[in-house]
A and B are shown apart, each in its own frame.
Chain A
Amino acid sequence: MTAPVMAQAAPEAAVQMRKTTYIQAVNEALREEMRRDESVFILGEDVAHYGGLFRVTRGLLDEFGPQRVIDTPISEQGFMGMALGAAAVGMRPVVELMYMDFTLVAADQIFNQIAKYHYMTGGLIHLPIVVRGQQGGGKRYGSQHSQCVEGLYAHFPGIRVVVPATPYDAKGLLKSAIRDDNPVVFLEHKMLYFTRGEAPPAEVEYTVPIGLADVKRTGQDLTLVTYGYCLLQALEAADALAARYGIQVEVVDLRTVNPMDTDTIWESVAKTGRLLAVHESYANCGVGAEVVARAYEEAPHLLRAPARRLGMAPVSIPVSKPLEDEILPWKQQIMAAVLEMMRA
């Protein structure tokens, strides 16, 4: 695994990195941004006194008080709409959805309202809102608590979609998201929360810019484009493919789905000639389909073999372990897809 690309806003090289968890990284980003800017406040279910179902907002109530860390009733439409109102008059709300599946409960406010407001008002009003929460399978939460929704968000103009995989990227991108003057959805994954990675110590200022992909592993045989928890699965698959078959996969971490950094993808495909897009959300009409379509539209001359996508099968998500394992497009499925492409 190569070191993450340090964006222009990265800390000085001399900073001593330390290991931290994904949860800690997100928590630090929230804390540091709330210290930095009084207009940042948090609202969501169980975020204040309990510290969030996944403890992501732990300790923030103690430091910032109940005015800035607000426990809401279970009214996703209502508090999402309130976030719009507060943002329209200069606040910077960070809304936690306990499960990103509940996007669909708040869908009118997110897609009909927040995403469109700047455009509909001819630019008179803009909305610095972050909607964040965890998504994804692997913990056997079943059909209404395991979906990945980045494709749904990315379908609509007007919302930036960020899906970071490492603690370093999570902290740097959440800071960028909170400072952005537009709506940003920030998608965490329940399987990532306790993963660890290198990041500068708390209070060492750095950000990761939205819209910049990062090559997380270099290789010359095939370009694998992914993001979020699938990045970890893809890196494992890539190491296994290298060890067993000598196949060198280059893994591009999109980090941001909208806007999509296709320059970085094409640069990689120019080297490998093969493109596979992988994600946990549905393959059907999804982000991978978008990546592949753009490859044929914008860079068909780079492809030496048909480009492919791998995503979740078109079924709801079952609870039973063998059934859930069967449909998650993780390591085994990724390896199989790469082998098929290499043998074709």
Chain B
Amino acid sequence: MSASISPQILPSEAETRLEVQPLPLDRLQQMYRTMFLIRRVEESLLQAAEEGKIGGAMHTAIGMEANAVGAAHATRPDDYVTCTYRGHHHALARGMDPGQAIAEVMGRATGFAKGKGGSMHFVDPEHGLMGANGVVAAQVPHAAGMALAAQLRGEDRVALTFFGDGALYQGVMHETFNMAAKWKLPIVFYLENNRYSEMTPIWRTSSVEALYRFPRAYGIESMQIDGNDVEVVYTAVAQAVERARAGEGPTFIEALTYRLAGHMAGDLETYRTEEEKALQRQHEPLMVLRNKLLERGARPEELEAIQAQVEEEVQAAVAFAEESPWPDIAQAYTDVFYL
């Protein structure tokens, strides 16, 4: 094996069997807006971390926005979602208020969890986000349990769980594959393959090259897609959700994407080259969607207007968070038990 392998950008032809339906222009513009919002919130958070305003570990999803937004558009608000500690994008895509999100990361009283959960534990039950998780793959059986609940109650809700490439090597992932397949649970397994398990490229530790092949051993329908094209993501998730609602069981989606920022704020990124990142930037999701919009007749000034609007919203959200009070000290002792 060579010392450095530049990850492929697009899925191999042979494994891409999706017929992508073009979405209406206004839908794509909405998606662009949310993706840009996520990008700017993440960038603002990185800046705040650099300024020492955020403690602990914070993981951003810059470059991975299309996965969250495509999936959110392809599910209903009453479907259940769980995700990883890299989960800001999923919360924002499903409709979490950016001010509450940033305040939570900063540990303020106005955060969605009063500052107790922070960056790694995003949760927003009102929008179906049932929890991000600090332990790799731990959120996967949680989604399966939600799918089981929907099945037991005869509801047509589905569960969608996001995880990274690193999760494939946790035992609980495979335990969940087995039960989900055996019981035909209404669940979508969504792998955001951003090519790095923390600081280690997957080829360095994995005995399997094509990750979408894992779940096939359990009889789970599986595909590999381009996770940086929001239309592709939307189509794949919509299909998987339809199968799940129809009682046809789980689907696994491996989305090839790329984390453009470090694993966490402060990552030295010694494990990859600038050339590699430059190559991946040519296919980053905002640019892919922007080009698509322009090709289909959107005017540049429309997109600029969207961006300006988002810029204002994000600045207001940051200001809201920074001006928010710290939680009351008494909050340290509440919420241990539900009373």
Contacts and interface: CB of A to CB of B under 8 A. Distances in A.
A22 to B, nearest CB: 27
Interface stretch (A27-35, A51-59, A78-86): A78-86
Interface size class of B (residues with CB under 8 A): 35 or more
Contacts of A78: 141, 144, 172, 175-176, 178-179
A119 B135 contact: no
A65 B125 CA distance: 30
B317 interface: no
Contacts, number: 144
B142 A81 contact: yes
A89 B131 CA distance: 12
Contact of A82 (B112, B144, B150): B144
A271 interface: no
Contact of A124 (B125, B135, B138): B125
A69 to B, nearest CB: 11
B9 interface: no
Interface residues of A, number: 41
A118 B336 contact: yes
B338 A77 contact: no
Contacts of B213: none
A39 to B, nearest CB: 8
A73 B152 contact: no
Interface stretch (B35-43, B115-123, B237-245, B268-276): B115-123
B114 interface: yes
Given A72-B179, A78-B179, A125-B125, A120 B116 contact: yes
Nearest to A73: B178
A83 B178 CA distance: 16
Given A122-B116, A124-B112, A81 B336 contact: no
A89 B116 contact: no
A104 B175 CA distance: 16
A113 B179 contact: no
B66 interface: no
Contacts of A157: 336
Nearest to B175: A78
A12 interface: no
Contacts of B143: 85
6 contacts: A82-B144, A88-B142, A89-B80, A89-B130, A89-B146, A113-B135
Nearest 9 Cβ contacts at the A-B interface: A85-B145, A81-B141, A122-B113, A78-B175, A82-B145, A126-B338, A75-B175, A85-B142, A86-B145
